């Protein structure tokens, strides 16, 4: 079945999902609604979440029919919102080929692109991008833990949450005054396989050329906001970003934290690498990352309302900004805290720590430790800063991940950590990932 036929078939099923009763959600969120204007709907956000992370979509694995269904769902929402299409042949779908999908075979994948045309002739070749990837790990490919392979990985936070906010932002902006600049909404495919969808888009941008993209706001893992600030990663990609988001927090009353590093943590990297300022909106790490336990029931819809409100304000600023932002020199090289952004040389071992993305000094700060993991069994603690592995300096998360790719299950490494101003050497025996 081609993408256009699937798009039509999905229309009725999307309407069915919207009709799911949301009484319990309403009761739980009543207090939060009193604090924020009712610009975004918790019910709608949760409905998108429940569909995209449902068992029927089987984790939206690359190359799967279920991933095509997710693409058709997003295109249907763009149609309902009234977005213009910027894909192939007048459609919303921008196709590209991936060498290997979940089944190990080549596949066609599709970015989903809709936009609101700009009205200011001075900005006719310029655009602001709001993006989110919609693929996940399916039944455990790539980069899943060995014991979880074969199980459905719903990918609720990563990244059905980002897509849900993307859809509702598109609907909200489409219902308002036309933007001065082109406002482009892109749902990327194949992020989990190495940012393939965003790389393809950056090489073939639509409707504006790459040099006309003012900035990219990428939504990835935005469903776990509770009382903590919203994390804005990669603000080091442009000099103006920190000031933009401080202003957004002041206007909305929604706290945020600017993190200069993590330029390569998600699809914003594909644009930063080509000289376009980009950031990732993120609500924090958790132990369900890339596991079957990343389910919709753990998502905070009230928190997603805050994320949508926050991003709407930032986007409005970018749409009306007269001058382009200045790409920072720090965007030309990966910062110490950079996580890996590709799947070449997959890790085979488990260490068992969750990193603190806000840590910008040398080393990898441990935000939490996975229960029962090699790290916990060895005595690694939350708050430790990993400095060396077998005498090799760990400059940041990228170096740590790359080093683990060279090891095998059963290997014992000496981890040198900083704890309460004391340097400690801890032997850790690695397990199968």
**Residue-wise pLDDT tens digits, 357-372:** 777 788 998 988 888 8
Alpha helix positions (H), 268-417: 268-272, 301-320, 374-378, 397-404
Q: Which CATH class is domain 349-432?
A: mainly beta
Distance CA 250, CA 339 (A): 29
Position 153 scores a pLDDT of 98
Position 327 scores a pLDDT of 85
Position 398 scores a pLDDT of 76
Q: Which CATH class is domain 3-331?
A: alpha beta
Position 107 scores a pLDDT of 95
Which candidate, 300, 245, 269, 294, places its Cα nearest to that of 196?
269
The reply to whether 349-432 shares the fold of 3-331 is: no
DSSP sequence for 336-347: TTPPP---SS--
Distance CA 58, CA 67 (A): 9
Residue ranges of domains in the chain: 3-331, 349-432
DSSP sequence for 99-142: S--TTSS-EEEEEEEEEE----GGGTT-EEEEEEE----TTTTT
List beta partners, residue 129.
Answer: 184, 216
Which candidate, 417, 318, 413, places its Cα nearest to that of 364?
417
Q: Are 58 and 66 in contact (CB under 8 A)?
A: yes
pLDDT digits (tens), the chain, 433 positions: 566 665 655 555 454 444 333 323 332 333 333 344 458 999 999 999 999 999 999 999 999 999 999 999 999 999 999 999 999 999 999 999 999 998 989 999 999 999 999 999 999 999 999 999 999 999 999 988 888 999 999 999 999 999 999 999 999 999 999 999 999 999 999 999 999 999 999 999 999 999 999 999 999 999 999 999 999 999 999 999 999 999 999 999 999 999 988 788 899 999 999 999 999 999 998 999 999 999 999 999 999 999 999 999 999 999 999 988 988 855 543 333 333 344 445 667 889 888 887 777 889 989 888 888 899 999 999 899 999 999 999 887 778 888 988 999 899 999 999 999 899 999 999 988 7
Position 328 scores a pLDDT of 82
Position 11 scores a pLDDT of 52
Position 360 scores a pLDDT of 74
Position 128 scores a pLDDT of 98
Token pair, residue 195, equals: 């940012």
CA 114 from chain centre, in angstroms, equals 18
CA neighbours closer than 13 Å in the CB half-sphere of residue 123: 21
Distance CA 224, CA 252 (A): 19
349-360: b or e for each residue (b if 16 or more CB lie within 10 Å)? bbbbbbbbbbbb
**Residue-wise pLDDT tens digits, 17-39:** 443 333 233 323 333 333 444 58
Position 35 scores a pLDDT of 45
Q: How far is CA 198 from CA 9, 37, 102, 129, 273, in A?
A: 27, 33, 19, 12, 11
Report the DSSP pairing between strands 385-389 and 364-369.
Answer: antiparallel
């Amino acid at each position: 079945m081609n993408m256009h036929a699937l798009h039509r078939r999905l229309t009725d099923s999307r309407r069915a999902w919207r009709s799911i009763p949301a009484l319990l959600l309403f009761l739980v969120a009543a207090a939060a609604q009193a604090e924020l204007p009712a610009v975004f709907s918790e019910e709608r956000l949760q409905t998108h979440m429940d569909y995209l992370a449902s068992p029927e979509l089987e984790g939206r694995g690359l190359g799967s029919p279920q991933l095509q269904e997710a693409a058709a769902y997003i295109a249907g929402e763009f149609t309902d919102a009234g977005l213009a299409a910027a894909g192939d042949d007048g459609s919303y779908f921008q196709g590209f080929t991936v060498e290997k999908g979940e089944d190990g075979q080549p596949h066609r994948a599709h970015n989903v692109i809709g936009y609101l045309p700009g009205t200011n002739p001075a900005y006719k070749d310029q655009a602001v991008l709001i993006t989110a990837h919609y693929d996940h790990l399916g039944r455990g490919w790539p980069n899943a833990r060995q014991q979880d392979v074969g199980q459905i990985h719903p990918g609720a936070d990563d990244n059905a949450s980002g897509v849900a906010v993307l859809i509702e932002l598109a609907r909200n902006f489409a219902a308002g005054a036309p933007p001065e600049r082109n406002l482009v909404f892109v749902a990327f495919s194949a992020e989990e396989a190495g940012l393939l969808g965003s790389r393809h888009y950056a090489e073939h941008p639509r409707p504006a050329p790459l040099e006309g993209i003012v900035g990219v706001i990428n939504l990835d893992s935005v469903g776990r906001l509770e009382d903590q600030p919203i994390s804005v990663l990669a603000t080091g990609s442009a000099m103006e970003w920190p000031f933009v988001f401080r202003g957004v927090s002041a206007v909305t009353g929604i706290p945020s934290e600017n993190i200069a590093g993590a330029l390569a943590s998600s699809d914003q990297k594909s644009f930063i690498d080509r000289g376009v300022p980009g950031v990732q909106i993120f609500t924090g790490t958790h132990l369900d990352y890339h596991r079957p336990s990343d389910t919709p029931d753990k998502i905070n819809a009230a928190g997603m309302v805050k994320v949508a409100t926050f991003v709407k304000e930032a986007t409005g600023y970018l749409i009306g900004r007269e001058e382009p932002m200045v790409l920072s020199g720090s965007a030309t090289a990966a910062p110490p805290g950079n996580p890996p952004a590709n799947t070449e040389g997959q890790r085979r071992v488990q260490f068992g720590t969750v990193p603190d993305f806000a840590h910008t000094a040398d080393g990898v700060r441990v935000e939490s430790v996975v229960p029962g993991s090699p790290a916990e069994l060895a005595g690694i603690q939350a708050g430790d800063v990993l400095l060396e592995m077998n005498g090799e300096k760990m400059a940041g998360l990228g170096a740590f991940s790359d080093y683990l790719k060279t090891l095998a299950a059963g290997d014992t490494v000496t981890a040198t950590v900083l704890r309460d101003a004391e340097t400690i050497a801890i032997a850790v025996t690695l397990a199968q990932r």
